Chains A and B, each alone.
Chain A
Amino acid sequence: GDSVTQMEGPVTLSEEACLTINCTYTATGYPSLFWYVQYPGEGLQLLLKATKADDKGSNKGFEATYRKETTSFHLEKGSVQVSDSAVYFCAHSTSGSRLTFGEGTQLTVNP
């Protein structure tokens, strides 16, 4: 069935370090891919998205490229900040009416 697999956390980095959170998926058809972020006590915020192969989503310094050949959508940022500390969720939508989420990756950035 459809699924999303994220790298296990938690991930702890120093400020200005590079970030990569791996995400792979299985899906029937051609899914849309998303990264959501969740800050403590809050709901999910859409960070970026890509709707077709080779699309690159980007926002707030974060990027992810839709790789159909490797069924991946890895999240990257060149220089993380303390304010980036949160839980990050990779997700896809195939039928369009439901999101299938990964387990989430807790990121902590230390000053």
Chain B
Amino acid sequence: KAGVTQTPRYLIKTRGQQVTLSCSPISGHRSVSWYQQTPGQGLQFLFEYFSETQRNKGNFPGRFSGRQFSNSRSEMNVSTLELGDSALYLCASSRDRVYGYTFGSGTRLTVV
């Protein structure tokens, strides 16, 4: 069974640009969550989507947004990139919240 797939694996962008990251969940999983991982702040929750609706949102500025499609694939977008947005962005999918979340390998974003 295929795992959670995130593309691209690595990305280099310039300050002020925008970026879109993609996540394909495990087949049958309708919940997709996004996390940001940095050395200074650790793992922080961005948002969660379930059946195309944002169900929960973390404390990130409006420059961070996401969406989910009818096939459960999800994208997150960061506009007007800042140096501090450099991080590993992880996507996780879940069939049922109680059973935990399966994470992808992440997208490493570097803003220069």
Contact = CB atoms under 8 A, between A and B. Distances in A.
Interface of A: 32, 34, 36, 41-46, 49, 51, 89, 93, 95-104
Contacts, number: 56
Contacts of A89: 43
B43 A43 contact: no
Main secondary structure of the interface of B (DSSP, over half): strand
B31 interface: yes
5 contacts: A42-B105, A43-B103, A44-B92, A49-B100, A101-B42
Top 3 A-B residue pairs of the complex, sorted by shortest distance between their CB atoms = A96-B97, A43-B103, A101-B43
A44 B56 CA distance: 21
Contacts of A96: 97-98
Contacts of A36: 103
A98 B4 CA distance: 17
